[in-house]
Chain A
Amino acid sequence: MASNVEFKIPALRPYPEIPALQPDAMQSKGPFVAKPVMQTPLGFPGELVENWQEKAIEKMGELLKKYRSLQVYLDSCVKCGACTDKCHYFIGTQDPKNMPVARQDLLRQVYRRYMTLSGKVVPKWVGAKDLTREVLDDWYNYYHQCSQCRRCSVFCPYGIDTAEISMAAREIMDCIGLGQKYCNEIIGKVYKIGNNLGLPEPALADTLNGLEEDVKLDTGVDVKFPLDQEGVEVLLVTPSADFFAEPHIDGLIGYAKVFHQAGISWTLSSYASEAGNFGMFIGSYDNMRRISQRIRKAALDLKVKRIVFGECGHAWRVAYSFLNTLAGPFDFLDPKYPVPQHICEFTYDLIQRKALRLDKTANDQRRVTFHDSCNVARASRMGTIPGGQFIIPRAVIKASCNHYYDMPADTIHDQTFCCGGGGGLLTDDLIELRIKGALPRMEALKYVIDHHGVTHMAAICAICKSQFTKVLPYYGFEMDKIVSVHQLVSNAIVL
């Protein structure tokens, strides 16, 4: 564990301050590169193409015409520096290229060189650079040190969103044959098997049967975990981690109990057995769309009336913000409900209608805080009012627990810090980055532990939960400090 790593785990600082720069602290070859077999199913060249420079510039030009965000953001940065201390990866690694503006500049320098007058005439003055192999290496390395969490975009006076730039950069790299193994391999699994974990239908059915038995043993009640059941009310799409590991699986049990008590019929789909959409991480509209279409097909095939998403951060961004655009219109579903709904919205509605019996004292041994997942907080909504994404999960927690405490104000809501593993970085080959990037969240957690005796941190994202399970011990916390929000509901619910 914490002892056998060859880099320094950052110390938790009593008063977080802006760190000094350590140039090239995170200079490396970057995460593992995708093999040709992982590239081709996604429609990308197997390996770095011969004329990659030319192709990359061409792709950049194409994206500039397709995405206003990219065009406006590459032009508009005034280098004011307001974003420089806002990225958790900069705070944790001190590498200046992890300052959001510097990360953008890696692409901007090439944009300027090839697409702007000043960059063509006086490149040195405006920091324009030729697209050399070194620059490409920097792209690969540092665009895989961005979790696309959008914290920088909150603080930029023009809303410049480095996530947009990272996505574009990854798309360009994919299109010249330089893909990231972790993301592209997973997308391949979704196409082939149906989910990120590569869990085939029989295994999934087995798991769900096992869960039914467990819950029966535990509570004496027949709570169902239906799979591929036609004609039910709700299709639940949840991250495949929910079928697999703690604390995710406890969340899944929570959803099932909520459905059970509400008396609303539901099903999972073995065809769309994954909520996550890694197409977003690689900035590929095509792949993101293709993955989204599975959910449409599953909803049609199973003849459901509603779609509900389980606890997953980036998945909820794609679901809330993009699904309707990519796979809509969903006019075949019940128009009484938003498409899709978040499981927290679903549970919250039931709580409001007093349709759930919750005994808060069941969680009395816990003192809970909530980690706002970056993409839920800054790229989506829940409920009907702006900021509902902050209110609703907390309301669900508070309806299930007596002891709830927020972390410091500048680390929650839309100022929340990413867990350090989002955006396609939740892979062991990036473990140093993941540990260092978790620093600001760990400091905020330490604060509520010290001041309020907090024992658990709840989250609504599969990536956050996996990431924290892994990195908490490096900072001296127990790994089971991280819990699912619906795990708390599961404990409190009186069946």
Chain B
Amino acid sequence: MGFLTSFFAVWFYIATLILIGGVAYKIYTYATTPSPLKIPTMPAPLNSTGVALRLGTEVGLFASLFRSNKWIWLFGIIFHVALLLVILRHIRYFIDPVWTWVVLIQPFGKYAGFAMVVGLLGLLARRIIVERIRYISQPSDYLILILLLIIGASGLMTTFLAHTDVVQFKAFTLGLLTFNWQPLPIDRTLLVHLTAVNLLMMIFPFSKLIHAIGIFFSPTRNQVDNSREKRHLAPWAKAQFESTHPSPSPQTTN
């Protein structure tokens, strides 16, 4: 077993653990932090079905962003939809035999890589060109885009330019899952691709990429508008103010 195979195998395990552990920790933090007050951005849905719909249009269609800025929406949606297709396509490397639907989306997934790069370039261009967005951008904002671009470009190269030995690569990925390591095809583009993906997984829980989780916990988007019907007391507020008698006498004024 070559050094690179072991190195990437171990790194992949570590990156996956960090990703899963980090995301789980974030979800735990968000889920256990109370929202002590009702703050949905109105008009808001009156029941949880409505909330599911609202979140659905936000996550699936970027509804608020569409109202807000058509260019960011366009590049954003191109990138995210393409990324989704690309990720789904990659399932084929981790299962055998490959599920039919994964086979069916394969052609779309392959070309989605281009759309992904186009979306990213659009976002990067706006970040550089639009004065307001440049002002709010930190090095990490550029670096994350560049990292994603590297992933997209190197992925496209392994598919369309410097063909990687996919069969051997699949043996490697399946081996990772069964803890029965197989040699990784030594191909520079592929190594760049894997390096970037591992890095992305590792920074995901600790960077703004966590927005993918945050949206589901955003009180302005996930709360039901029913404050007049139901009280919405957080545990800490209850403990602090209402632990002794349920409806305390008001403070006196003079």
A interface, CB within 8 angstroms of B: 18, 20-21, 64-69, 71-73, 75-86, 96, 99, 101-102, 105, 116-118, 124-127, 150, 153-161, 164, 191-194, 271, 285, 289-290, 293-294, 296-297, 320-322, 324-325, 327-329, 338-340, 377-381, 385-387, 389-390, 414
Q: Contact: A81 with B126, CB < 8 Å? A: yes
Instruction: Report chain B residues within 8 Å CB of A150.
Output: 41, 220
CA distance A474 to B74 in the complex (A): 40
Q: How far is the CB of B23 from chain A (nearest CB, A)?
A: 12
Q: Contact: A69 with B39, CB < 8 Å? A: yes
Instruction: Report chain A residues within 8 Å CB of B225.
Output: 381, 386
**Of the 9-residue stretches B148-156, B167-175, B208-216, which lies at the interface with chain A?**
B208-216
Known contacts: A80-B76, A116-B206, A164-B39. The answer to whether A290 contacts B232 by CB under 8 A is no
Known contacts: A77-B208, A325-B227, A329-B247. The answer to whether A68 contacts B221 by CB under 8 A is no
Q: Contact: A389 with B253, CB < 8 Å? A: no
Mask of B69-99 contacts with A, CB within 8 angstroms, 1/0: 1001000100000000000000000000000
Q: Contact: A20 with B218, CB < 8 Å? A: no
Task: Verify if B65 is at the interface (C-beta below 8 Å from A).
Answer: yes
A-B contact pairs, 13 of them (CB 8 A): A75-B210, A82-B64, A99-B135, A99-B136, A117-B206, A125-B140, A154-B67, A161-B41, A191-B251, A293-B248, A297-B250, A327-B250, A390-B43
Chain B residue, CB-CB nearest to A164: B39
Q: Contact: A379 with B42, CB < 8 Å? A: yes
Q: How far is the CB of A138 from chain B (nearest CB, A)?
A: 15
Q: Contact: B64 with A159, CB < 8 Å? A: yes
Instruction: Report chain A residues within 8 Å CB of B211.
Output: 75-78, 158
B43 partner, pick from A193, A289, A290, A389, beta carbons under 8 A = A389
Known interface pairs A157-B65, A340-B228, A378-B42; 13 further A-B residue pairs with C-beta atoms within 8 A, sorted by A's residue number: A72-B218, A76-B211, A81-B72, A81-B127, A81-B132, A84-B132, A124-B139, A153-B220, A156-B64, A156-B68, A157-B76, A160-B220, A339-B228
Q: Contact: A79 with B136, CB < 8 Å? A: yes
Instruction: Report chain A residues within 8 Å CB of B230.
Output: 324
Q: Contact: A192 with B254, CB < 8 Å? A: yes
Instruction: Report chain A residues within 8 Å CB of B243.
Output: none
A79 partner, pick from B26, B67, B133, B220, beta carbons under 8 A = B133
Instruction: Report chain A residues within 8 Å CB of B237.
Output: 285, 289, 325
CA distance A116 to B22 in the complex (A): 12
CA distance A386 to B58 in the complex (A): 18
CA distance A67 to B33 in the complex (A): 6
Instruction: Report chain A residues within 8 Å CB of B58.
Output: 157-159
Q: Contact: A378 with B41, CB < 8 Å? A: yes
Q: How far is the CB of B242 from chain A (nearest CB, A)?
A: 10
Q: Contact: A289 with B218, CB < 8 Å? A: no
Q: Contact: B232 with A325, CB < 8 Å? A: yes
Instruction: Report chain A residues within 8 Å CB of B45.
Output: 386
Q: Contact: A126 with B140, CB < 8 Å? A: yes
Task: Verify if B34 is at the interface (C-beta below 8 Å from A).
Answer: yes
Q: Contact: B64 with A155, CB < 8 Å? A: yes
Q: How far is the CB of B147 from chain A (nearest CB, A)?
A: 12
Q: Contact: B231 with A386, CB < 8 Å? A: no
CA distance A285 to B229 in the complex (A): 20
Nearest 5 CB-CB pairs, A to B? A76-B214, A293-B250, A386-B43, A159-B220, A81-B133
Task: Verify if B44 is at the interface (C-beta below 8 Å from A).
Answer: yes
B215 partner, pick from A80, A157, A321, beta carbons under 8 A = A157
Instruction: Report chain A residues within 8 Å CB of B253.
Output: 191-194, 271, 294
Chain A residue, CB-CB nearest to B67: A155
Chain A residue, CB-CB nearest to B43: A386
Q: How far is the CB of A305 from chain B (nearest CB, A)?
A: 16
Known contacts: A72-B217, A82-B68, A379-B42. The answer to whether A96 contacts B140 by CB under 8 A is no
Chain B residue, CB-CB nearest to A99: B132
Q: How far is the CB of B64 from chain A (nearest CB, A)?
A: 5
B218 partner, pick from A117, A158, A297, A328, beta carbons under 8 A = A158
Q: Contact: B250 with A158, CB < 8 Å? A: no
Q: Contact: B136 with A69, CB < 8 Å? A: no
Instruction: Report chain B residues within 8 Å CB of A390.
Output: 43
Instruction: Report chain B residues within 8 Å CB of A320.
Output: 227-228
A321 partner, pick from B38, B43, B131, B221, beta carbons under 8 A = B38
Known contacts: A68-B217, A296-B250, A322-B38. The answer to whether A76 contacts B43 by CB under 8 A is no
Instruction: Report chain B residues within 8 Å CB of A101.
Output: 136
CA distance A19 to B206 in the complex (A): 34
Known contacts: A76-B214, A159-B220, A191-B253. The answer to whether A324 contacts B228 by CB under 8 A is yes
Instruction: Report chain A residues within 8 Å CB of B39.
Output: 69, 161, 164, 321, 379
CA distance A194 to B34 in the complex (A): 32
**Residue from A73, A124, A193, A381 having most chain B Cβ neighbours under 10 A:** A381
CA distance A380 to B137 in the complex (A): 33
CA distance A73 to B239 in the complex (A): 25
Q: Contact: B34 with A125, CB < 8 Å? A: no
CA distance A292 to B35 in the complex (A): 19
Q: Contact: B138 with A325, CB < 8 Å? A: no
A293 partner, pick from B36, B208, B251, beta carbons under 8 A = B251
Query: Which B234-254 residues sit within 8 Å CB-CB of chain A?
Result: 234, 236-237, 241, 247-251, 253-254
Mask of B194-227 contacts with A, CB within 8 angstroms, 1/0: 0000000001001110110011011111000101
Task: Verify if B1 is at the interface (C-beta below 8 Å from A).
Answer: no
Q: Contact: B214 with A72, CB < 8 Å? A: yes
Known contacts: A67-B36, A77-B211. The answer to whether A157 contacts B136 by CB under 8 A is no
Chain A residue, CB-CB nearest to B31: A68
Q: How far is the CB of B219 from chain A (nearest CB, A)?
A: 5
Task: Verify if B62 is at the interface (C-beta below 8 Å from A).
Answer: yes
Task: Verify if B14 is at the interface (C-beta below 8 Å from A).
Answer: no
Instruction: Report chain B residues within 8 Å CB of A414.
Output: 41-43
CA distance A337 to B184 in the complex (A): 70
Q: Contact: B231 with A159, CB < 8 Å? A: no
Q: Contact: B136 with A81, CB < 8 Å? A: yes
